[in-house]
């Protein structure tokens, strides 16, 4: 089977779906790996490193797409600047695609994949079960996003994060408030604590209190008897009364914070609006908000996805691809996730699409010309 690794063309995207380390594992397992020339350059992986790992470098983009049995990508298929054609249309009928799709945000890409009878697997839909942990790209990338968000905030904040004892007197530590204690939120908490900040966090799921406190942060939550998470472990939509109480809590904590990191998503995709313009107006001048959920629309009313805004003296960052800011490690972790998926179903010289397997079934978006999920 031929694995194809194209160069990513999304705006600001510096990651590559497969790195030489993983390439070597696939070649050893009996797979043939084809890598588009320059695919790893933005992540600091040279063509020579891929050749050393046993991959073949393909200069022609169209040839790569037409030849691959299984294409590995970071971003959903889009228009190829090299050929002027949509990437889904360049794939042959019956070929497979593995990568981040987020079908609800990319219905056009899903439609084209189905039309061209491509079997597409979305890593963002892989069920969160023990057997699939090594394939979980969402967690790998969220970990990087949480870490990076705190670094961005620290650069923008006109204060120290840690307490400093100087000849001119003692400087108090910065106060960081993290909204959402999933993977990104927990990494943000850990990073802010390592930098010496006083950290407080909130989440709709009371079950995460122990994790928050184990990292040295204080948990602030709204008491509720409602089930706060779905079967997949994601936060789910709750009642209006709950959100009213949560709004009061968030408004109070934001007014006291120097940095607010927001990471809340419903179902892992949709960003609930949690910080209003009025809440921002009550924050201290010089404070910073980093809206990690900007790609899902943003948790803050004043967030401008993909850019930075200053409102009422508060700097609001709306990054939409934080993992790409750390392309070497982001690519390495993403690549390991995809390799784990491929090798788990590579048996007796073939990739088995077992529709009875819950991982395959959960990740499958298009198959046999049909859209299986994501309409």
Sequence-distant contacts of 23-27: CB under 8 A, at least 24 apart: 23/50, 23/53, 23/54, 23/55, 24/53, 24/54, 25/339, 25/343, 26/339, 26/342, 26/343, 27/53, 27/54, 27/55
263 and 293 Cβ atoms separated by less than 8 Å: yes
User: Could you write out the DSSP letters of every residue in 28-39?
Assistant: HTT-EEEEETTT
Alpha-carbon gap, residue 288 to 280, rounded angstroms: 10
Catalytic residue among 79, 85, 92, 133: 133
Provide the residue count of the chain.
375
Task: Give residue for tokens 């934080």.
Answer: 322
Best CA proximity match to 70, nearest among 9, 126, 18, 125: 18
Distances (CA, A) of 68 to 62, 71, 122, 300: 10, 6, 18, 42
Phi, psi of 220, rounded to the nearest 5 degrees: -125, 115
DSSP 2: E
Catalytic residue among 234, 243, 282, 304: 234
Most distant pair of Cα atoms in the chain: their distance:
71
Cβ neighbours of 136 (radius 10 Å): 21
Catalytic residue among 69, 124, 136, 291: 136
Task: Give residue for tokens 């924050």.
Answer: 283
Best CA proximity match to 371, nearest among 101, 11, 191, 134: 101
Judge residue 278's burial from the number of C-beta atoms within 10 Å of its C-beta, 0-12 exposed, 13-18 middle, 19 or more buried.
exposed
Which pair of structure tokens corresponds to residue 159?
């204060």
Active site residue 133: yes
Active site residue 92: no
- Measured over the CA atoms of residue 359, residue 362, residue 366 and residue 372, the dihedral's sign is positive
Catalytic residue among 51, 105, 128, 209: 128
Active site residue 128: yes
Catalytic residue among 63, 134, 139, 237: 139
Alpha-carbon gap, residue 352 to 354, rounded angstroms: 6
Task: Give residue for tokens 């942990």.
Answer: 133
State the catalytic residues: 128, 133, 136, 139, 234
């Amino acid at each position: 089977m031929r694995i194809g690794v194209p160069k990513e063309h999304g705006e600001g995207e510096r990651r590559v779906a497969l790195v030489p380390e993983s390439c070597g594992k696939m070649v050893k397992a009996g797979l043939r790996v084809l890598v588009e020339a320059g695919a790893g350059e933005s992540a600091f992986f040279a063509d020579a490193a891929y050749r050393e790992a046993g991959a073949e470098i393909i200069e022609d983009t169209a040839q790569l797409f037409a030849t691959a049995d299984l294409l590995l990508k970071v971003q959903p298929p889009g228009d190829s600047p090299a050929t002027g054609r949509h990437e889904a249309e360049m794939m042959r009928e019956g070929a497979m695609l593995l990568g981040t799709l987020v079908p609800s945000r990319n219905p056009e890409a899903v439609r084209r994949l189905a039309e061209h009878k491509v079997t597409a697997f979305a890593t963002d839909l892989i069920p969160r079960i023990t057997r699939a942990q090594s394939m979980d790209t969402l967690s790998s990338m969220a970990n990087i996003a949480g870490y990076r968000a705190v670094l961005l905030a620290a650069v923008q904040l006109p204060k120290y994060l840690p307490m400093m004892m100087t000849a001119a007197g003692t400087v108090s530590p910065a106060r960081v408030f993290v909204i959402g204690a999933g993977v990104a939120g927990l990494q943000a908490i850990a990073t802010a604590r390592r930098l010496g900040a006083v950290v407080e966090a909130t989440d709709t799921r009371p079950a995460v209190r122990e994790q928050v406190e184990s990292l040295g942060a204080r948990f602030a939550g709204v008491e509720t008897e409602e089930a706060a998470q779905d079967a997949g472990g994601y936060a789910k939509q709750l009642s209006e009364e709950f959100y009213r109480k949560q709004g009061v809590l968030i408004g109070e904590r934001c007014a006291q914070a120097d940095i607010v990191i927001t990471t809340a998503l419903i179902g892992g995709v949709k960003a609930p609006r949690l910080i209003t313009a009025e809440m921002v107006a009550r924050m201290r001048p010089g404070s910073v908000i980093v809206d990690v959920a900007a790609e899902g629309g943003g948790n803050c009313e004043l967030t401008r996805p993909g850019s930075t805004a200053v409102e009422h003296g508060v700097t609001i960052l709306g990054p939409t691809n934080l993992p790409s800011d750390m392309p070497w490690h982001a690519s390495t972790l993403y690549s390991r996730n995809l390799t784990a998926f491929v090798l788990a179903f590579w048996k007796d010289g073939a990739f088995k699409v077992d529709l009875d397997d819950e991982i395959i079934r959960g990740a499958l978006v298009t198959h046999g010309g049909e859209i299986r999920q994501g309409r």
